[in-house]
Amino acid sequence: MKVCKFERMNNEDEVKQVIGCIQKEHPYVAVIPVLTQLQEWLQAISVSWFHEEDETSHTIVNAIEEYCRTLTDRLISDRKLNQDMKVQIEKCMEKIQVLVEDKADLLTDKIIKAEVYGLSNELFACCLRQQGLRAQTLDTGKFMQINLERKPDIPYIKESVQQYISEKRDADIFIAPLSLCKNVYGETDFMNEKRNDYYATVLATAFGADELLLSTQINHIYANRNSRREQHSLTYTEAEQLINSGVYLLYADCISLAAHSNITIRLTDTHDLTTERLYISSHDTGNSVKAILFQDSVTFVRFTSLNVLPGYLLVGKLLEVINKYKINVISMASSNVSISMVISASPDTLRIVQKELHKYAEMVIDENMSVIHIIGSLHWQRTQVESHIMNTIKDIPISQISYGGSDQCFTLSVHTTDKNRLISLLAAHFFENEFAT
C-alpha cells in the first residue's frame, strides 16, 4: 500500500500535475494541500474578522465562492459532478458566512479553516472521480487526534482508521487534507505545517502502508537522477544521523516512525513530481557517495585564542556562549590555538557573541558562505574516498573541512560564489553527469 503527500498546489496547472502523479503512482491515500489562493484568503479572513471588519470578511468569503466555482468549471467537465460540487460550495459558503457573523475566537477561526480545507479536498476528489477513480474524502478532523503534548496519538489513530476504511471498502483512493486534526478535547485543530511530512508519515503508519512518497522542498539536494535507485538510496540510520547532525532533510520523527513501521520513503521535489531525488529504506547499497546537499546563507567564524585562558577553558567558554544564544552549529574544526565554526546566526547575534568573547579570543567573521555535505558510506575504513573528493576540488578555495564526526557525511564550507562549480565537479566525478546551475 502506498501513501503520497503533496506539499503545494498553486494553480490549476499544478492541480493537474498532482492528478497526473496520482494516476502514475496509484496510492491508496493522497494527502493534499489546500490551494494556495484559498490559504491566502483564509489568512485575510482571520485578520479582518479579529479586527471586526465584517464587511471585508464577507467580501473575502464571496471571493472564495467565486474562485471555487470558476475552478470547478475549468477542472470538472462532467455535468453531474460539476453540479454536485457547486452544491457543496454553496453549502460551505453559507456556513462560513454564518460563522463570521459571530464574535471572533480562535476555535471558530479553526472551524472556518477546516471548512475551506474540506471544500478544497472535495474539489480534488471530484477531479479524480471524473478520471474514473472511486475517490473518497478522508475527514482527518475526526480521527487524526493529537495529545496534550500536541503529538499524534498513533494507537487511537490506527484504531479509528481501521474502523473507517472497513466502512468504505469500495474506495479506490482516499483524499486527506494536510495538517487537519482534532485535539485531546475533541476540538478542531491543526498540526504545525512545518511537520507536514510527519503528518503524512503518521497516516502511512495508520493505514499500514509500505511506501511513502513525499513531495517536499528539497531543491538543496543533488543526487544521481539518471541512475539506478541504488545509487541515491540512504538507510534509515544514515538519514537519521544526517538530520541529527544539522542537515535539513525531513522532520526527524519521520525517519524513526518510518523505520519502526518499515515504510520506504521516496522524496521528490515540489517542482518536479516525476523524478525521485532520494530513496530511504532499510537496505544499504554500500555506495561511497550517494548524494550532495548544500546550505546557503551561513557564516564562517574563526576564534583565535588571545592566550588569556588555557585551551580547554576557551573551548568550554565558547560552547557556553553558543548554548546561551541557541546558535545552530553546522560544522566545527579546531587546532591548538583556534576554533572555526560554520554557523547559522543573525548579524545581531554575532555582535553579542563577539562582545562576550572579546577578552578571550579574536573573532573573524566571513559571511555569504555555503556548506556542502557529501553523503554516503564514508567510514574511515573506506580508503581513498576523501582523497578523491579533495583531488576533484583542488582548485577551489575551501574555508573548512569537517570529516570523521559522522560515517555518513563529509562537510566542506566555501564562498557561495564557488558553490555551483564545486558541486558540478563533484557530480561529474561521482555521478558522471553535470549539475544544473
pTM, to two decimals: 0.80
Using CA atoms, how far apart are residues 347 and 363, in angstroms rounded to an integer?
A: 13
Using CA atoms, how far apart are residues 86 and 82, in angstroms rounded to an integer?
A: 6
346-380 pLDDT per residue, tens: 999 999 999 999 999 999 999 889 988 888 777 76
> Is residue 372 helix, strand or coil?
strand
Closest CA to 398 of 435, 426, 363, 361: 426
Which residues of the chain register pLDDT less than 70? 218-220, 222-232, 245-247, 285-287, 380-383, 432-437
The three three-digit cell numbers of residue 399, written as one number: 574555508
CA 393 distance to own-chain centroid: 30
What is the pLDDT, as a whole number, of residue 336?
79
DSSP state string for 314-353: HHHHHHHHHHHTT-EEEEEEE-SSEEEEEEE--HHHHHHH
70-117 pLDDT per residue, tens: 999 999 999 999 999 999 999 999 999 999 888 878 899 999 999 999
Tell me 378's DSSP state.
-
